[in-house]
Amino acid sequence: MPDLKHAKLISILFFALALLTACWFRFSQLGLKPFHHDEGVNAHFLMPLMKQGSVAYKYNPLNYHGPTLYYITWTAVKLFGETDFALRFWQCAFGVLLVVLLWWFRDHLGDVGLPVAAFAIAVSPALVFFSRYFIHEMMFGFCSLAMAVAAWRYARSKHFGWMILLSVSTAWLFATKETALITAFTMLFALLLASLWDVSRKLIQEKRWTPAALITTLRSDWAEVRPSMDHALSGFIIFVFVFVFFYSSAFTNWPGVADAFKSIAHWTEERSGNDHVHARRYYLGILFKYDLPLLIGGLLAGLLIVWRGTRFWLFVGAWTFGLTLAYSLIPYKTPWLMVSFLVPLCLVCGYAAEQIYQLLARLPLRILWLGLLGVALLGAWRLCAEVNFDKYADNGNSAGYFREYLKGKGYIPYLDGQYGFVYAQTDKDFHNFVQTLQRTADSYPEQKATGIYLASNEYWPLPWYMRNYSGVAFTGSLPAKLDEASVTQPLMIAKTDQRDAIEEAGGWRMVDRPFVMRPGVELLIYQREKK
């Protein structure tokens, strides 16, 4: 802050404002966006828990990631009921809690860095977009930051409470997604690099660098921060308990623990060559298009960290760069994987804001710098609102910084939609389809038991919206002969490429019109004609 008497108080007030902003962006109009295909699949795995409790859910390594998402969402369903809001609630909450965790890094961030990092998380179009999704990513990002907070605070205080948080958040991370291995390895490697760089830099400045001096200093540093034996053993026991609890379905499915390790090999093979392969520049392209202030802040922070960063910031910088590099090198890429490195990227942006502020000795220059930060915040705020409340189903990903200028220049990524967060998103029209289907089905006397024949082979996330109808046949195809013997249900859902076959068979009347489900997929509702 400029040389103000109450700079710290102003910093805290802006931090609180960022926290409120994070809440508003994540929880406002949460049902606006139809469920994505992946959200529908996750809801399918949640349903046994919702209906029958923990005994009904068994982890399967061939399914989609770890079990924590379903257990934590189960608590929201118990509280809010079977609603879209309940399923997305915890991911929104974890997105807000990311801001809360920054409070324990306030000494490192400084009076300027703390609110800047908080607003970076609060209005990042990417972090908001994936906070409003019923998928694993935001919980995963929260756990990784909680690990960093707990480890750093424990090293300074040796308070066992931080060891508990470290153990629980690490176990939770590993019980959420198989990519926990990438995060854990990168964070450990980043800590090693930070220690080597920091110690070497000090020894060089003191003109006493030798391999022996380096090793001796590192040993001395480790002796100061290492946990006591009882804390380490207790932390390990807590880790194992939480890990086993989730994978064993609350101690009712012991093979699930072994399956947790089998899943690593499965996902390595599964992701080696499919439709989600993108160029190495893929994530940088999305950052440039939607989170440009974070990209610029990260580049500035990298220079400042190498030059004058403390060991803490050397660690965060290496963590950020390491994860960005790792995910860029892996051929399999989806936009939500960015969450893993966007979280530490917001931290280093706060560091850059604070350090540049401190380097500017004159008050007018400091005020100018704060003004530039404000302009960047307003730009991110505007784009975040546009992406999440207006173009949330825009599979063309037409929003972005400098879009009109770059479109005029024929810049391909702004024209073909490859760079963006909207990824085979269910169209806005799907809400109209669901309302029409429910209205038609409920017109029958048996209502919730109404028979519905689902002939379309593409129907996710429809099972979530049809969960209360007991008479649904998810066949995914038309029978060889379309008559009352093969299709006894009074309603049928089909794709547009099945329309000719249905109408040639006769006896069916299309309800309303074709409805867009997602790009290239339109659904039709047919009602059996009364004789």
Q: Which helix (H) or strand (E) holds 524?
A: strand 521-528
pLDDT of residue 456 exceeding 70, the answer is: yes
| pLDDT at residue 299 in the model | 96
| pLDDT at residue 230 in the model | 93
Which of 486 and 81 is assigned the larger pLDDT?
81
Round the CA-based radius of gyration of the chain to a whole number and report it. Answer: 26
CA-angle at 66, arms to 63 and 67, nearest 5° = 100
The Cα-based distances of 184 to 138, 147, 242 in angstroms read 16, 9, 17
Which of 274 and 320 is assigned the larger pLDDT?
320
pLDDT digits (tens, 9 = 90+) for 391-409: 999 998 999 999 888 888 8
pLDDT of residue 272 exceeding 50, the answer is: no
Q: How confident is the model at residue 288 (pLDDT cuts 50, 70, 90)?
A: very high
Identify the DSSP state of 491.
E
The Cα-based distances of 48 to 16, 44, 247 in angstroms read 39, 8, 15
> Mean pLDDT over residues 360-382, rounded?
94
> Mean pLDDT over residues 177-195, rounded?
94
Closest Cα partner for 295 from 348, 223, 253, 356? 348
Percent of the chain with pLDDT over 90: 65
Q: Write the CB contacts of 409 (distance below 8 Å, at least 6 apart in sequence).
A: none
Q: Of 164-173, 226-235, 448-457, 520-529, which range is least confident? A: 448-457
The rounded distance, in Å, linking the Cα atoms of 323 and 301 is 16
**Tokens encoding 477:** 């195809």
| pLDDT at residue 487 in the model | 87
| pLDDT at residue 412 in the model | 80
Q: What are phi and psi of 334, to 5 degrees?
A: -135, 150
> Mean pLDDT over residues 9-30, rounded?
96
pLDDT of residue 485 exceeding 90, the answer is: no
Strand-strand pairing, 521-528 and 491-495: antiparallel
pLDDT digits (tens, 9 = 90+) for 293-311: 999 999 999 999 998 899 9
Q: Of 51-60, 94-103, 366-375, 432-441, which range is least confident? A: 51-60
| pLDDT at residue 312 in the model | 95
Averaged confidence pLDDT in the chain: 90
Closest Cα partner for 27 from 128, 137, 119, 145? 128
pLDDT of residue 81 exceeding 50, the answer is: yes
| pLDDT at residue 262 in the model | 79
pLDDT digits (tens, 9 = 90+) for 220-242: 878 888 888 999 999 999 999 99
The rounded distance, in Å, linking the Cα atoms of 58 and 347 is 37
Q: In what order do the strands lie in the sheet with 471-474?
A: 471-474, 451-454, 491-495, 521-528, 508-518
| pLDDT at residue 338 in the model | 95
* Helix 282-290, helix 311-329: angle, nearest 10: 120
| Largest Cα–Cα separation, the chain | 97
Q: How confident is the model at residue 415 (pLDDT cuts 50, 70, 90)?
A: confident
